[in-house]
A and B are shown apart, each in its own frame.
Chain A
Amino acid sequence: MPTATILSKIEESFPEAILDITEFAGGHIFHVKGRDILMVLTELKADGFNFLADLTAIDNLTLGGFERFAVSYHLLSHKTAERLTVKAYIPEEKPSLPSVESLWKTADWQEREVFDLYGIKFEGHPNLIRIMNPDDFEGYPLRKDYPRLGRKERGDFPVIDRPIQKKKRPE
């Protein structure tokens, strides 16, 4: 099935979930509500988009959009060699949306990465812990309101004492 047919079919079956369908540089972008993402992706997977190529998030703080955060899913169909971007929008207050780990195992680590860097919670994820930053790290570095140079966390990282060096240093 060509992408346009699939999109109109989904638009008919879930009229409330779909916010918009746009096209840019030859690719379709499908804008949906965050809470309906699992339903939409289950349907798309059944329609032939069998491969979740990438999962990431965007902070729309200054860009503007339907909501503050958007989680992007890049789907690929091995049969027709077509790609589709699905963007799920979630509000700023307690950002959370259903996990798609049950559909694709690859979502496990990628959702953890989004949780680590954006603070978006994925409901139903089996092991939602930080993946890149240390467990006791506070803040979400890829959010637009997080400064590029950090909040001085670097100075607070625990350091291993080296007793030999201390002895050598004269008081």
Chain B
Amino acid sequence: MTRVSELPLETDKMVLNFGPQHPATHGTLRIIMELEGETVTKATPEIGYLHSGFEKLGEDLDFNQYITITDRMNYLSPLCNNVAYALAAEKLIGIEVSQRTEYIRVLMCELSRIADHLLNVGMLAVDLGAMTAFLYGFKLREDIYDLFEIATGTRLTTSYTLVGGLMRDIPDGYERTVLKVLDEVDKVTNDIETLLNKNRIWQNRTKNIGIISKDDAISYGISGPMARASGIEWDIRVNEPYSRYNDFDFDVAIALNGDVFDRYLVRMEEVRQSIKICRQSLEKMPAGDVIVDPGLGYSLPPKDEVYNSIEGLIYHFEVTMPNRGMAPPVGEAYVPTESPNGELGFYIVSDGNRTPYRVRTRPPSLINYSIFSKLIEGHMLSDAPAIIGSINVIAGELDR
């Protein structure tokens, strides 16, 4: 005779609507989950709530104008998007930028990476109930955004790069300010890890949750810290160096289990490596111009010259007038870069006009998110925020 308590408890399936406005999604995502008790048996993500036609817009804006649109894609690290688009346009046109430009771009990308990773870890922590780590990370992110404001004039919509260089040079004494913040980052990274790494609750909530195997990661096109947490030794900065990343000495963070905890560890280690790269970049910073010669018709002259000299004004008009400006060769270029989320690539097809024929963004958020329904299957409902947080879905980039 079996006792009643040993019989399986049959429950009806419940359909739960997660989002589009939910505090744990950090963006407009919708997931329709089928639950059996508290276990998720099936999840169907629905996206497109923030679809704004950025790729269509790109066919109507010229190469320098579109940089303002790239800010709005991954709004946690806009500088990485600016740099990625500028690199793609430069490869298409065949411009070589100065060494100083490349070093400043590396510095800015790495600062964005620190800000992005700290915010991501903070968000993951706050979704799992660890408020302190979130506040530590968020405060530092503010300091880094102040650095962006000093250099670019704005915090979020930076639009710092131009095709062929940068909008403006970094101001005098910038190194000192950056180094001060970097010291702080070093301290806070240790603080966050001390708070979380050996925390029993944190480990229970993140270890063995949402495991991605190495084969799955390749099949689903996963890139960036998520792929490296699954043991794929692939970092575009090292394997296909751009912007003189080969001048810098840093390590690639790898983990083997591929769960949420490992993704967190990889991100924290990447913050440390980014600090190293920033310091080296400041040390080795070469002198020189930050824009290629505007006389060639490719780059906008510095704003100082536009407002204060007749030549600058003429050059500015030459580049921006609808029937003038750059005339790129007919062809196409795809440039992959290592953004904080993974492989961010811009694919530009040109028909020889001043506006590109087709602009495609390879969005790491979209491609990394496509594995979500496989990851959540069989897990508890409360693991959903942990998995979404570890994927770091940015809705602006997801839907474009």
Contacts and interface: CB of A to CB of B under 8 A. Distances in A.
Nearest to B357: A63
Given A63-B349, A109-B366, A24 B219 contact: no
Contacts of A53: 221, 223, 336, 343, 345, 362
Given A81-B240, A106-B219, A106-B220, A148 B60 contact: yes
Contact of A54 (B94, B232, B345, B399): B345
B370 interface: yes
B363 to A, nearest CB: 9
A59 B366 CA distance: 22
Nearest to A24: B331
A81 B239 contact: yes
A25 interface: yes
Interface string B338-349: 000001010101
B55 interface: yes
Contacts of B221: 51-53, 104-106
Interface in B199-236: 216, 218-221, 223, 232, 234
A74 B331 contact: no
Interface residues of B, number: 41
A47 to B, nearest CB: 15
Interface residues of A, number: 37
Contacts of A151: none
Interface stretch (B45-53, B100-108, B290-298): B45-53
Interface in B339-373: 343, 345, 347, 349, 351, 357-358, 360, 362, 366-367, 370-371
Contacts of A27: 333-334
A9 interface: no
Contacts of B239: 81
A141 B399 CA distance: 14
Contacts of B332: 24, 29, 85
Q: Is the interface of A mostly helix, strand, loop or mixed?
A: mixed
B349 A58 contact: yes
A108 interface: yes
Contacts of B59: 148
B56 interface: yes
A83 B333 CA distance: 12
A131 B50 CA distance: 12
A53 B366 CA distance: 12
Given A24-B331, A53-B362, A62-B351, A132 B55 contact: no
B42 interface: no
Contacts of A76: 336
29 contacts: A25-B92, A51-B221, A52-B221, A53-B221, A53-B223, A54-B334, A56-B347, A58-B357, A58-B358, A63-B349, A74-B334, A74-B345, A74-B362, A78-B218, A78-B234, A81-B240, A83-B334, A85-B334, A105-B216, A105-B221, A106-B367, A109-B366, A110-B366, A113-B366, A130-B48, A132-B399, A133-B51, A134-B48, A142-B56
Interface of A: 24-25, 27, 29, 50-54, 56, 58-59, 62-63, 72, 74, 76, 78, 81, 83, 85, 104-106, 108-110, 113, 117, 130-134, 141-142, 148
Interface of B: 47-48, 51, 53, 55-57, 59-60, 91-92, 94, 216, 218-221, 223, 232, 234, 239-240, 331-334, 336, 343, 345, 347, 349, 351, 357-358, 360, 362, 366-367, 370-371, 399
